[in-house]
Amino acid sequence: MLNKLDLIDKRILKALQHNGRLQNIELAEQVGLSPSPCLRRVKLLEERGVIQRYVALIDPEKVGKSLSVYVRIWLDGQGQALVDLVGHNSNHPDLNFDKVFDIFTLWRKVLEQ
């Protein structure tokens, strides 16, 4: 279901994306509302699933995870093997497969042309 967002909702989301730990009073000030209506809007955005959760962004270098690896795999008729590999390892804490399917789809399109 598509959620309609007005200008104030968009301002709230932008401010929280920049700093998810903003106090309601600070957030209200930034978006041009008084604190009570601002808090109601945030709660409504949470209830509607627009705001799913609040997360911390971790600097990979500060926790010893500064290596990025790009791997190109050639498969002859075994695309399911890649799907299985990613599915089996998708929750591994040291592996990030977020872009695998995007890249896999892009290469498939390039090869088909």
**Tens-level pLDDT at each residue, the chain (113 residues):** 677 999 999 999 999 999 999 999 999 999 999 999 999 999 999 999 999 999 988 888 888 877 666 666 666 666 666 667 666 666 666 666 665 556 666 656 666 66
Helix (H) or strand (E) holding 15: helix 7-18
Q: What is the pLDDT of residue 7?
A: 95
CATH code for the domain defined by 7-47: 1.10.10.10
Residue 77: both structure tokens together: 């008729």
Q: Where in the chain is the domain with CATH 1.10.10.10?
A: 7-47
pLDDT at 83: 66
pTM of model > 0.85: no
**CA–CA dist 17, 11 (Å, integer):** 10
CA angle 38, 41, 43 (to 5 degrees): 110
- The pair of structure tokens assigned to 72 is 């190109």
Return d(Cα 105, Cα 85) in angstroms, integer: 16
